[in-house]
Structure 1
Amino acid sequence: MSDYLQTILARILRHLLKLLSVGRQHAKRVVFFSYFGSQYSCNPKYICEYMLEHAPDYEIVWAFVQPEKFLFLEKKGIKVTKYLSLPFLRICLTSRYIITNSEIPAWFPLTGKQTLINTWHGGGAYKKVGAAYQKETSGKQKRAAIARKNPCIYLSSSKAFTEMTLKESFQHTGKVLSFGMPRNDMLVRQDRDDLYMKIKDFYHIPAENHILLYAPTYRDSKKASEYLFDCPKVKQALSRRFGGSWSVLYRMHYFVMNQLPESDDYIDASGYPDMQELLYASDVLITDYSSSMWDFSLKKGPCFLFATDLDHYDLSRGFYTDIHTWPFPLSENTEELTAAIEHFDESQYLADIQKHLDGLGNQESGKSAEKVFEYLQSNQ
């Protein structure tokens, strides 16, 4: 279907769907969906979990592309529906609040009495997104402009995120809640030590082992196998620098999950339902351009960048700031990566991390989920 036709259909469908909003609005119903209905995860999950504990009088609905896989949530008191079905649309359009972590379709209408909170799914300001990413078609840009007509409130993790991502890239002119990201509350507070053994038990990792988490971002030109590095060499470098034995968890983007070849060198953790729990339980993170580096910096853990296609990625995607100014040691091949690990200077790294967080205007509060709920209550 052409870009032009998609835009016309979005406009028509938007007007037709407003008919579903006729009727009583449920003031204490909140509809959640994460990554376009694919997961029970990220910031929406942590807001939901807080509300389940502190606001039992609210009706909570989650929407999934495959709702049959999430029926276990009903035991928590969560209603489950199918994402983008007619019942889902009817529920959304008669609910006071909708909370998600990604864009909503251009054809999705909201009334002035509703509040859409977009928590987004990345902190800091690293790789370019939205209008700053120049490969979007003119039709997609028009549909994005239509979607922005919906009354939307964004969460922000930092002043840089607000300015560069929300205002410049998303062209957001509405309200911003500078509370930080709910999924990062536990990383700020450091209050979930149970997760160390939970992850080790889940993956049968010896209790004495340290964990390296490798979490590269998605590139449509790369297969899962192309992200691999020399695990034995990296493990040896980690042992020489930090001591002990190491287990490696690979966390692929959900677009390429279930594609890794089996190996005794690493554990495929792509299907684990909560990335933040993996970050919390890991001793070292390796990524390339993923905003998980922001999350991990909140716990001051060593993070290394393994960017084998840096020149191409910089030209095709681009960054808000020069990657060489970030505090995370940067490598473009395995030899550089192992050298960076072996020569890691913890005191210098901690100073650089703090300077980085301060420079971006860190707004992570450790109480983001609580603050979001307080905002909902104050705007009934």
Structure 2
Amino acid sequence: MKKIKRKIKILICIILNRIFILIFPLQKNKVTFLSDVRKVMGGNLECVYEYLDDCQYKKIIALKGDHRDKRGFIKKIKLIYHLSTSHYILLDDLSRECNYLKVRKNQEVVQLWHGAGAFKKFGWSRSNTGEDVGPIHKGYRTYTKAIVSSDDIRSCYAEAFHMDISKIKATGFPRTDMFFNDQYKENIKKSFYQRHPRYQGKKIILFAPTYRGAPVSKATYDFSKIDFQQIYETFHEDYICILKWHPALYNNIQRGYVEIPDLSQYNHFYKDFSNYRDINDLLIVSDILITDYSSVIFDYYFTHKPIIYFAYDLDEYTGYGGRGLYFDFYDYVYGAIATTTSQLIEDIQKREMYDEKRQVFYQKFLSACDGQSTKKSCEWIFKESA
């Protein structure tokens, strides 16, 4: 019965989309900013939104925090209307709204994506890992353009989106521009410590791993692999540790699907910032990052601070049946690798920088990011299609 209802809803969306196309013209310079994974504007979407002149462009915002959240009936109809009549539709992740969309002549559906580089396999690339991705990712066929952070990874996105590589351009990622703006970084630090004065004088460890499991609705993490008490006992006098769970994992924690350890006895050391607006702000204020296979490694590169990869399940994660990576894991590494809590503690204490690896990493994954990525992206998306 659920499948029948779902098919009926999709059919209604298709019919409404086609009716709106017949009745209403494409509205020149109307831009819809669409995301099913964020409640507030952020990342590449926000950078482009702020760059565009309000007088020249009509900007529509259509956001929700989770794929599973439902838009109300009226909101859904309005969204279909906006998608049917917008000259430009900009996304930063998968949106199933594209599954029923018929792309009109001169209409642009542009994937800005949410993470720089090309780390974990996504989209159609995941069919090589044994996962059935067809029903989930068929909306990718609507994309007319996509941006990436370097020329070397255009082929990865072409595979993931089933797009001709000529439609993918290395403009750099707009969200990285902030790291080239010294005044912006100083303002972020000042604002952060005004809101959290107790953190003054403490070094900040940012723990931001990605999730495990597929599909994204089953996102989880094996918290037993890390000894939170041992880390507290070693570092609590000089550090605080900010926890930033991946949005998919955090959504499942909030829904009660995933249980996290009770860290209340260490509440002066561990701070959960999972609902913080933008992780890039946390990258700026942190002193060291602990992550694993997360695309946060690409943004963090520009902070010029130590990074540790806590990869306790490397073989499982990268192998067939796991998530899979586009390149060998060690191509992504410009910091220490730890697989146990003891190694993690030792690497935090060492704080090594691995300068030679950093340069190779930049050339492969981030060479188009130069502080002008928003400008370059907008010129390609809007001026070349005007």
TM-score range, shorter chain: 0.7 to 0.9
Residue number in structure 1 paired with 2:84: 93
Instruction: Give the CA deviation at 1:314.
Output: 1.9
- The alpha-carbon distance between structure 1 residues 84 and 321, as it changes in their structure 2 partners (threshold 3 A), is farther
Q: Which has the higher helix share?
A: 2
Deviations 1:285-312 (A, max 9, x none): 1111101011101222211111222222
Aligned match for 1:339, one of 343, 346, 352: 346
Residue number in structure 2 paired with 1:330: 337
Instruction: Give the CA deviation at 1:143.
Output: 6.1
Q: Does 1:123 align with 2:129?
A: no
What secondary structure sits across from 1:27 in the alignment?
A: strand
Deviations 1:242-282 (A, max 9, x none): xx922211001223324643431310000111111111221
Residue number in structure 2 paired with 1:111: 104
Q: Distance between the aligned counterparts of 1:270 and 1:361, measured in 2?
A: 26
Residue number in structure 2 paired with 1:186: 178
Residue number in structure 2 paired with 1:72: none
Q: Distance between the aligned counterparts of 1:42 and 1:289, measured in 2?
A: 19
Q: Distance between the aligned counterparts of 2:28 and 2:235, measured in 1?
A: 53
What secondary structure sits across from 2:308 in the alignment?
A: strand
Residue number in structure 2 paired with 1:274: 278
Q: Distance between the aligned counterparts of 2:74 and 2:150, measured in 1?
A: 31
Amino acid at match of 1:332: T
Residue number in structure 2 paired with 1:25: 26
Residue number in structure 2 paired with 1:357: 362
What secondary structure sits across from 1:149 in the alignment?
A: helix
What secondary structure sits across from 2:199 in the alignment?
A: coil
- The alpha-carbon distance between structure 1 residues 176 and 262, as it changes in their structure 2 partners (threshold 3 A), is same
Residue number in structure 2 paired with 1:300: 304
* Identity %, equivalent residues: 23
- The alpha-carbon distance between structure 1 residues 197 and 27, as it changes in their structure 2 partners (threshold 3 A), is same
Equivalent pairs counted in the alignment come to 357
Q: Does 1:155 align with 2:147?
A: yes
Q: Distance between the aligned counterparts of 2:55 and 2:199, measured in 1?
A: 39
- Runs of 5+ consecutive residues of structure 1 not aligned to the other structure: 67-80
Q: Does 1:202 align with 2:199?
A: no
Deviations 1:36-86 (A, max 9, x none): 4544222101211222xx4443221111338xxxxxxxxxxxxxx999610
Deviations 1:180-221 (A, max 9, x none): 111111124444211112223334433222221111111137
Residue number in structure 2 paired with 1:63: 62
Residue number in structure 2 paired with 1:77: none
Q: Does 1:317 align with 2:314?
A: no
Q: Distance between the aligned counterparts of 1:114 and 1:132, measured in 2?
A: 26
- The alpha-carbon distance between structure 1 residues 83 and 163, as it changes in their structure 2 partners (threshold 3 A), is farther
What RMSD, in angstroms, separates the aligned Cα atoms of the two structures? 3.3
- The alpha-carbon distance between structure 1 residues 103 and 83, as it changes in their structure 2 partners (threshold 3 A), is farther
* Contact 2:147 2:169 survives alignment (8 Å): yes
* Contact 2:148 2:154 survives alignment (8 Å): yes
- The alpha-carbon distance between structure 1 residues 223 and 118, as it changes in their structure 2 partners (threshold 3 A), is closer
Q: Distance between the aligned counterparts of 1:365 and 1:227, measured in 2?
A: 40
What secondary structure sits across from 2:158 in the alignment?
A: helix
* Contact 1:34 1:42 survives alignment (8 Å): no
* Contact 1:185 1:365 survives alignment (8 Å): yes
Amino acid at match of 1:19: I
* Contact 1:283 1:302 survives alignment (8 Å): yes
